[in-house]
Structure 1
Amino acid sequence: MYRRVVRALPPWLAHALRAQRGPVPWSAVVRGALAAGPLLLVAVVVGHPSVGVVAAIAAMLAGINDRPGSRRASVRRIGVPALAGAVGMVVGTYVGENTGAVALTLLLTGLGLVAGSISAVGPVASAAGTQVLVACAVGAGMPLPEPGWLRALAFLAGAGWLLALRLLLPTPGALAGDYRFDGEREAVADVYDAIGALLDAVGTQHATNRRAALTAALDHAQDALTGPRLRRYASSGVERRLHAQYAAALPLAEAATALAWAGESHCGRASAGARRLAAAVRGNMHTGPLPAPARSMPALRALDDALLHAAEVFDQEGKGSDLHTRQRTAGDLLRAVVGVGGREYGLRVALCFGAGVAIAQALRHAQWYGPHEQHWYWLPATVVFLVKPDLGPLVSRVLCRAAGTVLGALAFAGFAALLPRPEGLVALVAVSGALIPVATRHFAAQTAVVTVLVLALVMVGGEPQASVSRIGETLLACAIVLVVGHLPMPGQRGGGVRARLAAAGSAAQAYLAHVLSESDDRAARWALRREAYRTLAEARGAIARAAAELPALARHTEGADEVAGTLERLVDTTTACAVHLDDTGRLTPRHTERLAELLDELESGRRRLGLREPELPVAV
């Protein structure tokens, strides 16, 4: 009933009510409980609560970035934003102590432009951009006795403590083999399960969704295997084996996609083989005999060959394989930063962050803040979280932030009236840290928990209870972001979506060109296929967020979903062509006619959306 009601609502409201589902991440809950609270307690005991406040803030931000995945991937996901936050803390402290209100506003606006543009690169860069701005605002505005360098060390210590917990503590059920690689092992096993699910769905209406789920599983496994010491050549037997098992899944995924494209039924034993491979990965054991499918068509023969290859790989203890992925170059990252998506992202963040700093400074000098309420930095810091377009649609973020802040502030007011100080507040920080991994499933819930944690930290740092101020500043930040978010911008709106679609089109071009060249380099083909599907998934995410905006913004990306769908079908068809060419050396009229239709459809969709036409090969 609830789902039907949500689907019947306007997209901008339905998104605000939608929450992620899944099991409780108990290991992350434990890490959250052991992070900010204990750090704050130690600082209070030794008589330096302000240092503990900075460390707890860093641990809180690191906890938000502590997402499911491998330990090695968490080094980049948590560590890179923490380093950016430490730099922001030093810069903010220096700027806040040595400049006036006007210069401060101009400098922080410029930093917002840079951080926003960098955020367009990807999730880790976005988290780094968020933390550098938040830490800069805190460093400039929070009244702390420590110099900037000591604040930065405290920030690094807080984030580093949670990262150390992530790397060292075992997770529940991680008993198969080396527990340090349980995240990698689960990610690779999920790929084989997704292959089995796709094979079961061949010829049904669920095949498209199952293929998308397979792409998501491959993306997750690729991320899990590309952390430190898990690059092209791994350093241990366990790592090499996981690399080889991931690589063995790529031809299986290709054959399963080709079968789904053909839409013909097949022997169900093939999906059983994929699930046996998944169980072997999870249990760190051999597969035993695998059921073979019939070899009645090219895709089934490719599937049988891939299963045989996987069985051989699983039986070869410790022998590794290259990770078939295309690593993004410095040029790719620079193009994302200075491209249309990066420029639009950076300009939006700069305007909102700068406006937040300017209004906060004006209110500060107008003595809107009381003599004991020296937290003008809350306003620009709140704006940073609200303005990030990769965190969800604008109106959804605003609604969730407002509701979560009111709920959290009222809850904290009740706790503050009852709990002893400071030990009760320290316990409240620890409980809030434990709730963050669960609360991240919905922005309003995350906001409520973070609000309680931040208000507790403020009181431990010596300021009075500030629930009312927190609500007022959050509502003001919501108004700033809503106004700036709907202002006309230079160039064409929807630049982020168009940039993602352009990247997906270029990746599809490279993949199709490689297949039509009939190259024998299958490793390169699989890497190009992975890049094509990955960029498509990123484009789909950006399009879904844009579609859930208010109509005034959503209309700028109308038609993008149709172009993404055409690209998706083109990549699926290219995969089917690759498998058929491997088997027969030539394409059937069905393949060539379908390619021609999709290329024409793609050109028409691009013209409607105003996208640059890719240099796709048309001689098919």
Structure 2
Amino acid sequence: MTPAAHGRRGRARKGPAPAGPRRAVRARFASFPLAAALRGAVALAAPLLVGVLTGWVTLSVIAGIGALWGVGQDGSDPYRSRVRRFLALGAAAAAGLAAGEVALRSGHPAAVTVCLVVAALLGGAVSLRGRVASVAGMHLLLGVTIGSGIPVPGPWWHAPLALFTGVLLILVLSAAPWLWRRNHDERAALLAVYRAASAALAAAGTPGATDARRRLTDTLDNAHQVMARHLAPGRRPEPDPRVGDLLTAFRLAVRLAEAVTTLLWEARPLPAAVTRVPSVMAARLLPGRGGTAPALPDVEPDTPGLRALAHVCAAADAEWTDDAALHVPAPPRAGRSAHLRYAVLLAVCVLAAQLCAEVMHGPRSYWLPMTVAFVYKPDFGPVFRRALHRCVGTVVGVAAIGAVALLTQDTYALIGVVALFGALMAVGVRHHYALATTGLTAVVFVLVDLLGDDRALYVPRILDTALAAAIVLVVHFAVWPDSLTHRASARTEAALDAALRYRDLSPVVTPAQRQALRRTAYRQLAEARRTAAHARREPGPPGRRLPDWEETITAAEQLCDAVTARSLGATASAAHTASAGSSARAKRE
């Protein structure tokens, strides 16, 4: 709880009662990505079924690989973002596959190795430049590993085209709902903000208030990202009135979050009439089909926070005139030296993996470099945890597909198994990397079986995965053990600067500009906290002492809370505003 809670009148109540078993079950079921699981099953099974029925088994397997990689990058983000990501994935993977195939067909022993190393250098050079670039860089390398490891008969362009077709299949399945629910993602993200605001108001005056405010910030960050394309500077008004309603709901959500933060800072329990205001606002601003607009409850404006909430309620019934854009702040990016270092280390890991594969397996030795491409992604999270989950998922996947092989070898039954594990992979993409790896491993074994590879690969694939993970960990921690530490420090510094800029400029800017400064500060603080958590999960030498990023971030969050409260008239905490600012500066220094 913030220091402003001390000395407040009124008895602090206990936190909200825990949800009952039925509500918890409903919440878990609601979070299950059923649509994504169905997409994964259909996208992986359909190409194989077509290939078996037409006799084009090899090309159908290549298309299945494209769909497999597409399932690994499927998400619930806006449809346009998915389309850009899938197109970048498909183009990069197809180009890599063509390059690997040409290297394999050349017949020169070193051609494949050189092609892999060059692809690793190129992929690593672009991977730290953002999500789409990272996906493209990784799949460029993956395409080369498959193209140089799986001989495909026929013209050289057949395999890249089949791979791209598989990616297009998952793109169509993922983006097709846009045709009949065009703004569904934006609406769902905004409803989540209003629900989080209601929960935060219910937590006012309790020890859970700080966590509730952070959850509200997270949902607003997500809504901000989802709405970003509608907030672009200079963008013309949308002809669709539904988009205008979404923009109004988003901008009111920003103002609502400001009022909620002030009420949490005041640290007084609130009556039910106040805590349900956000839910009623959501019902009025984002009504469902056939829904009626309920009346907003009366809010007695006897504190600055309640006055701010009352103003937001009044704005919900008025015509919106403030069209100031709130831009999504870009996180600080790694410098050229970090790009170069990652590219070189990735190339070294791929070279080592390829040399080991040639010695151990000879032809079709794609598993080792492919595993390196999947594991060595420091921008996707801690490398050690990713390597560990990759190994665990591979072991479980091998055991699962081995059990299936004991029961049946029927082709159509195996395609059904692919559908099942494709669905499992789609769920794992959203919940746990080891679960996603389990599904991917089982699917790849069926694909290899359809290609006619009869070798006993269960134990070798587990050993290959362990060896590839070991190569990545040894190279990474020997040369670049502090990559996440530097990233956490850089993002904490950027977030602190944003918080101090919000404090210094909020008294002299317009309300819309103040809200933009506030959104930037809170968004960067949340991102810095996540990056710091990733850095702490990375192992280090005994006795390693990391900076206390979380304490700095917490002090900066308290500073932003105090500035927000002061901006809305809650001057009782002005003294703490100055002390929090001093504490934040001291942490940085």
TM-score by length of 2: 0.85
Per the TM alignment, residue 111 of structure 1 is displaced from its structure 2 partner at its CA by 4.2
Q: What secondary structure sits across from 1:336 in the alignment?
A: coil
**Aligned: 1:548 with 2:537:** yes
**Aligned: 1:356 with 2:347:** no
Partner of 2:341: 347
Partner of 1:225: 227
Partner of 2:264: 260
Per the TM alignment, residue 250 of structure 1 is displaced from its structure 2 partner at its CA by 0.8
- 1:312 corresponds, among 315, 318, 334, to 318
Per the TM alignment, residue 282 of structure 1 is displaced from its structure 2 partner at its CA by 5.3
Per the TM alignment, residue 97 of structure 1 is displaced from its structure 2 partner at its CA by 4.8
Q: Please report the RMSD computed on the Cα atoms of aligned residues, expressed in angstroms.
A: 3.2
Following the alignment from structure 2 to structure 1, what is the Cα–Cα distance between the partners of residues 68 and 58?
15
- 1:501 corresponds, among 481, 492, 498, to 492
Question: Is the CA contact (8 Å cut-off) linking 1:241 and 1:320 kept in structure 2?
Answer: no
- 2:583 corresponds, among 588, 591, 601, to 601
Return closer, same or farther for 1:357/1:492 CA change in 2, 3 Å cut-off: closer
Partner of 1:303: 309
Return closer, same or farther for 1:248/1:588 CA change in 2, 3 Å cut-off: closer
Following the alignment from structure 2 to structure 1, what is the Cα–Cα distance between the partners of residues 92 and 49?
25
Following the alignment from structure 1 to structure 2, what is the Cα–Cα distance between the partners of residues 576 and 80?
44
Q: Deviations over 1:16-67 (max 9, x none)?
A: xxxx996322111211121111022213333322222222122122212222
Question: Is the CA contact (8 Å cut-off) linking 1:85 and 1:132 kept in structure 2?
Answer: yes
Question: Is the CA contact (8 Å cut-off) linking 2:503 and 2:563 kept in structure 1?
Answer: yes
Give percent identity, aligned residues only.
Answer: 32
Following the alignment from structure 1 to structure 2, what is the Cα–Cα distance between the partners of residues 38 and 553?
51
Question: Is the CA contact (8 Å cut-off) linking 2:353 and 2:372 kept in structure 1?
Answer: no
**Aligned: 1:283 with 2:288:** yes
Partner of 2:462: 471
Question: Is the CA contact (8 Å cut-off) linking 1:194 and 1:210 kept in structure 2?
Answer: yes
Return closer, same or farther for 1:249/1:379 CA change in 2, 3 Å cut-off: same
Following the alignment from structure 2 to structure 1, what is the Cα–Cα distance between the partners of residues 335 and 83?
27
Partner of 1:190: 192
Q: Which amino acid aligns with 2:214?
A: A
Question: Is the CA contact (8 Å cut-off) linking 1:411 and 1:452 kept in structure 2?
Answer: yes
Partner of 2:449: 459
Return closer, same or farther for 1:102/1:576 CA change in 2, 3 Å cut-off: farther
Question: Is the CA contact (8 Å cut-off) linking 1:59 and 1:159 kept in structure 2?
Answer: yes
Q: Which amino acid aligns with 2:354?
A: A
Q: What secondary structure sits across from 2:182 in the alignment?
A: helix
Across the two proteins, how many residue pairs are aligned to each other?
556
Return closer, same or farther for 1:299/1:121 CA change in 2, 3 Å cut-off: farther
Following the alignment from structure 2 to structure 1, what is the Cα–Cα distance between the partners of residues 296 and 588?
45
Return closer, same or farther for 1:227/1:506 CA change in 2, 3 Å cut-off: same
Q: Which amino acid aligns with 2:279?
A: R
Q: What secondary structure sits across from 1:462 in the alignment?
A: coil
Following the alignment from structure 1 to structure 2, what is the Cα–Cα distance between the partners of residues 307 and 206?
25
Following the alignment from structure 2 to structure 1, what is the Cα–Cα distance between the partners of residues 550 and 435?
30
- 2:333 corresponds, among 333, 336, 358, to 336
Per the TM alignment, residue 153 of structure 1 is displaced from its structure 2 partner at its CA by 2.7
Question: Is the CA contact (8 Å cut-off) linking 1:349 and 1:384 kept in structure 2?
Answer: no
Question: Is the CA contact (8 Å cut-off) linking 1:386 and 1:398 kept in structure 2?
Answer: yes
Return closer, same or farther for 1:127/1:211 CA change in 2, 3 Å cut-off: farther
Question: Is the CA contact (8 Å cut-off) linking 1:82 and 1:156 kept in structure 2?
Answer: yes
Q: Which amino acid aligns with 2:139?
A: Q
Q: Which amino acid aligns with 2:446?
A: A
Following the alignment from structure 1 to structure 2, what is the Cα–Cα distance between the partners of residues 182 and 445?
28
Please, which moves more after superposition, 242-251 or 96-105? 96-105
**Aligned: 1:134 with 2:171:** no
Partner of 1:584: none
- 2:251 corresponds, among 229, 238, 247, to 247
Question: Is the CA contact (8 Å cut-off) linking 1:548 and 1:554 kept in structure 2?
Answer: no
Return closer, same or farther for 1:84/1:320 CA change in 2, 3 Å cut-off: farther
Following the alignment from structure 2 to structure 1, what is the Cα–Cα distance between the partners of residues 572 and 408?
75
Following the alignment from structure 2 to structure 1, what is the Cα–Cα distance between the partners of residues 168 and 419?
17
Return closer, same or farther for 1:392/1:525 CA change in 2, 3 Å cut-off: same
Q: Which amino acid aligns with 1:369?
A: H
Return closer, same or farther for 1:346/1:101 CA change in 2, 3 Å cut-off: farther
Q: Which amino acid aligns with 1:360?
A: Q
Partner of 1:480: 471
Partner of 2:276: 272
Runs of 5+ in structure 2 lacking a partner? 1-27
Q: What secondary structure sits across from 2:206 in the alignment?
A: coil
Q: What secondary structure sits across from 1:552 in the alignment?
A: coil
Partner of 2:516: 527
Question: Is the CA contact (8 Å cut-off) linking 1:244 and 1:320 kept in structure 2?
Answer: no
Per the TM alignment, residue 119 of structure 1 is displaced from its structure 2 partner at its CA by 3.5
Partner of 1:376: 365
Aligned positions of 1:4-153 closer than 5 A: 23-97=31-105, 105=113, 108-109=116-117, 111-116=119-124, 118-145=126-153, 149-153=157-161
Following the alignment from structure 1 to structure 2, what is the Cα–Cα distance between the partners of residues 475 and 196?
47
Question: Is the CA contact (8 Å cut-off) linking 1:400 and 1:443 kept in structure 2?
Answer: yes
Per the TM alignment, residue 149 of structure 1 is displaced from its structure 2 partner at its CA by 4.1
Please, which moves more after superposition, 549-558 or 132-141? 549-558
Per the TM alignment, residue 95 of structure 1 is displaced from its structure 2 partner at its CA by 4.9
Per the TM alignment, residue 452 of structure 1 is displaced from its structure 2 partner at its CA by 0.3
Partner of 1:325: 326
Following the alignment from structure 2 to structure 1, what is the Cα–Cα distance between the partners of residues 109 and 349?
12
Following the alignment from structure 2 to structure 1, what is the Cα–Cα distance between the partners of residues 64 and 583?
53
Return closer, same or farther for 1:185/1:273 CA change in 2, 3 Å cut-off: same
Per the TM alignment, residue 217 of structure 1 is displaced from its structure 2 partner at its CA by 0.9
Q: Deviations over 1:107-141 (max 9, x none)?
A: 64454355345433444443333323222322233
Please, which moves more after superposition, 108-117 or 503-512? 108-117
Partner of 1:8: none
Question: Is the CA contact (8 Å cut-off) linking 2:128 and 2:339 kept in structure 1?
Answer: yes
Per the TM alignment, residue 358 of structure 1 is displaced from its structure 2 partner at its CA by 3.3
Per the TM alignment, residue 479 of structure 1 is displaced from its structure 2 partner at its CA by 0.9
Return closer, same or farther for 1:203/1:83 CA change in 2, 3 Å cut-off: farther
TM-score by length of 1: 0.81
Partner of 1:13: none
Return closer, same or farther for 1:588/1:246 CA change in 2, 3 Å cut-off: closer
Return closer, same or farther for 1:129/1:203 CA change in 2, 3 Å cut-off: farther
Q: Deviations over 1:131-178 (max 9, x none)?
A: 23222322233222355544333232212211211222489xxxxxx6
